[in-house]
Structure 1
Amino acid sequence: MATLFHISDLHFGAEDRSALDWLEAQVRHEKPDAIICTGDLTMRGTKREFDAAADYLAALPVPVSIEPGNHDMPYYHEMLTRLRHPFRRFEAMHSRAHRPVPLPDVSVVSMPTVTPAQWRLNWSKGCVKPRVLAAALQQLSGAGPEVLKLVACHHPLVDADTEGSGSTRGGTQALAALAAAGVDAVLSGHVHDPFDLMVETANGPIRIIGAGTLSERTRATEPSYNRLEWTQQAGLSVTVQVAG
C-alpha cells in the first residue's frame, strides 16, 4: 500500500503556523511514503518567503515533491525580474527541498500550469502550454498499467464546485489527453478548498483532486490536506484531513 499526503497553498508570508505545526505532527505520526505539494509555497515570491518554505519542507522526515504556483514568482512590483527570471527563486528553493516520490509503483508527473504573463488581465489563472503537456505525456509513456499515474499541477484543469476558479486555458484538452494516457488522477491546489471529482472528457472519464490550504487565506474549508491511499486491489482513496 502507498500512502501519500497531498498539500497545497502554504503561502509563507501568510502561513498558518498552527496548521503547519499540525501537519508536521501528522507526518511524523503517520509516516506517509511521500508528500506531494501542488504549489503556492509563498505569498509574494520573496527570497525570505522561499527560505522559510524550504526550511519547513526540508525538515519534514519524508520526501516532498514540489510544484510551482502562481504566487511562486516575483510579484507585480518586481515586473522586470518576473519577466526575465520568473522561477529563479522557486528553483533555488526546489533544489533544497524537493525529493521525488520514491515508489516504483507510483508515478508522479509534473505539469506546471503557471506562466509569468499571458494575454488576459488576470495572470494568476492557469495555462497548459502544448510543450508542457507533451513533456508530461512523454513521461507517462514509460509507466506500465500496474503503476498509479498521478499528474501534479497547481491549477484545476477544469473548474470544480468551489468558491475559487482556475480558469485554466487548455485544461479541457489536456484532461482529454491525460485520460487517453491512462492517468488515474490529476492533483492540484489554487482554490483553497478540497474537491474530488470524476470529469468526462472526449477520451473517457478522469479524476481531478484538489487540496485545500495550510495558510490564513481560507475560504469554505479550514486548513486541510488530502490523505491518499492506494493499492492495486482497492484503487485510490482520498480522505480530507481538516485541522482540529
Structure 2
Amino acid sequence: MIRILHLSDPHFGAADPAVAARFLTRAAELAPDLTVLSGDLTMRARRRELIEARSFVERLPRPRLVIPGNHDIPAMNQPFQRLFSPFQRYREIFGAELEPIHTAPGLHVVGMNSSKAFGPSLDWSLGHLSPENLRRAHQRLSGAPGSFRVLVLHHPLIAPEGHKRDVVRPLPSLLELIASHRVDLILCGHFHCSHLAAIGPQNSWHGVVSQAATVCSTRLQGEPQGFHMIRADHDFIEIERYVFDGENFATDTSFHFARGAEGWGGADATTRREEARIA
C-alpha cells in the first residue's frame, strides 16, 4: 500500500498561521510515504514569503516533492525579474529543479511545471505545458515499469460544474501522455476547490485526478481549507478528503476508484468517470 499526502496552494503572504500549524500536526500523525505540494507556495514570490514557505515545507513529512505555481513567479511590479528570471527566487530557496521526480519501490512520481511568466492570453495565471515540458515528462515516465505512476502539476485538468476558469493547456496532449504511459494518478491544485474524478477520452486510459483545495490560505473559493490523503495499490485507490472545521482537520468524505481494462473508474456512488471535454 502506497500512502501519499497531497496538499496545495498554501499561499504564504496570505496564509492563516493557525491553520498551517494545525495541518502540520495532522500531517505528522498521518505519516505518509510521500508528501506532495502542488504549487503556489506564496502570493507574490517575495523573499519573506518564500522564507516563510520554506519553514513550512521543512516541517512536512519526508520524503516530499514540491513544485512551483504561478504565484511563485514575481508579479508585474517586478517586470524584469518576471520576464527574465521568473523562478530565480524560488530556486534560491527550494533548489534548481522545477520538475522534480521521486522514485521508490513500486512508485514513480514525475513533476511538471505548468506555470509560465507570460503567455498569449492576457491572464498569465493560466496553466500551459510547452512541448519541452511534455517531451521531458514522456522521457521520465518511460522508466520504472510496473510502478504506480503519478504526475504532479499545479494547474487543474477538470473544471468543476459552474466554474468558468480554464484548465491546463494543451489538455489533449497531456491526456495523450497520461494514456500512453498509463499514468494512475494526477495531483494538482490552483482552483482552491477540491475535485476528484477519473478522466480520459472515450475508449482510452483514464487516470484519477486529485485536485486539492488550498491547505491554509485565507483566499477561499467557496469551501474551507483542506487536503487529500491517498492510499493506493495496483487495483484500488482510496482518497480521503480532509477539511478544516474551524478547529482541526477532519475527514469529510472518502472516494474510491478501481482499476479496469481502460484504467481507473469510480468504485462507488461518490466518484465518477469523466470523458474529457477537450474541444
TM range (shorter): over 0.9
Deviation at 1:167, TM superposition (A): 3.2
Whether 2:121 is the aligned partner of 1:115: answer no
In the other structure, the counterpart of 1:126 is 127
Deviation at 1:148, TM superposition (A): 0.9
In the other structure, the counterpart of 1:69 is 69
Pair 1:29–1:87, CA change in 2 (3 A): same
In the other structure, the counterpart of 2:275 is none
How do residues 20-99 of structure 1 correspond to structure 2 at under 5 angstroms? Answer: 20-95=20-95
Pair 1:150–1:162, CA change in 2 (3 A): farther
Structure with the higher fraction of residues in strand conformation: 2
Whether 2:232 is the aligned partner of 1:235: answer no
Deviation at 1:127, TM superposition (A): 0.4
Deviation at 1:164, TM superposition (A): 6.1
Deviation at 1:52, TM superposition (A): 0.5
In the other structure, the counterpart of 1:223 is 225
Deviation at 1:120, TM superposition (A): 0.9
- Secondary structure of the corresponding residue to residue 142 of structure 1: coil
**Separation in structure 1 between the aligned mates of residue 129 and residue 135 of structure 2, nearest angstrom:** 10
Runs (5+) with no aligned partner, structure 2: 246-279
Deviation track 1:111-163 (CA, whole Å, cap 9, x = no partner) reads: 11111010110000110111101101111100212x11010000013434364
**Separation in structure 2 between the aligned mates of residue 21 and residue 87 of structure 1, nearest angstrom:** 27
Q: Is the 8 A contact 2:226 2:244 kept in 1?
A: yes
**Separation in structure 1 between the aligned mates of residue 21 and residue 163 of structure 2, nearest angstrom:** 26
List structure 1 runs of 4+ shifted beyond 3 angstroms: 98-102, 160-164
**Separation in structure 2 between the aligned mates of residue 163 and residue 223 of structure 1, nearest angstrom:** 18
> Mean Cα displacement is larger for which, 17-26 or 78-87?
17-26
Q: Is the 8 A contact 1:40 1:190 kept in 2?
A: yes
Structure with the higher fraction of residues in helix conformation: 1
Q: Is the 8 A contact 2:35 2:60 kept in 1?
A: no
Q: Is the 8 A contact 1:11 1:43 kept in 2?
A: yes
Pair 1:162–1:51, CA change in 2 (3 A): farther
**Separation in structure 2 between the aligned mates of residue 210 and residue 200 of structure 1, nearest angstrom:** 15
RMSD: 2.1
Q: Is the 8 A contact 1:164 1:191 kept in 2?
A: no
The one-letter code sitting in structure 1 at the alignment partner of 2:49 is E
Q: Is the 8 A contact 2:103 2:109 kept in 1?
A: no
**Separation in structure 2 between the aligned mates of residue 165 and residue 4 of structure 1, nearest angstrom:** 27
In the other structure, the counterpart of 1:150 is 150
The one-letter code sitting in structure 2 at the alignment partner of 1:40 is D
Deviation track 1:141-195 (CA, whole Å, cap 9, x = no partner) reads: 00212x1101000001343436463432212221122112110021100000111
Pair 1:189–1:162, CA change in 2 (3 A): farther
Pair 1:102–1:200, CA change in 2 (3 A): closer
Whether 2:175 is the aligned partner of 1:171: answer no
- Secondary structure of the corresponding residue to residue 138 of structure 1: helix
Deviation at 1:90, TM superposition (A): 1.1
**Separation in structure 1 between the aligned mates of residue 19 and residue 194 of structure 2, nearest angstrom:** 16
**Separation in structure 1 between the aligned mates of residue 148 and residue 106 of structure 2, nearest angstrom:** 6
**Separation in structure 2 between the aligned mates of residue 5 and residue 242 of structure 1, nearest angstrom:** 14
**Separation in structure 1 between the aligned mates of residue 20 and residue 162 of structure 2, nearest angstrom:** 23
Structure scoring higher RCO (CA < 8 A, sep ≥ 6) equals 1
Deviation track 1:183-218 (CA, whole Å, cap 9, x = no partner) reads: 002110000011111223264323221011021011
Whether 2:217 is the aligned partner of 1:200: answer no
**Separation in structure 1 between the aligned mates of residue 192 and residue 67 of structure 2, nearest angstrom:** 15
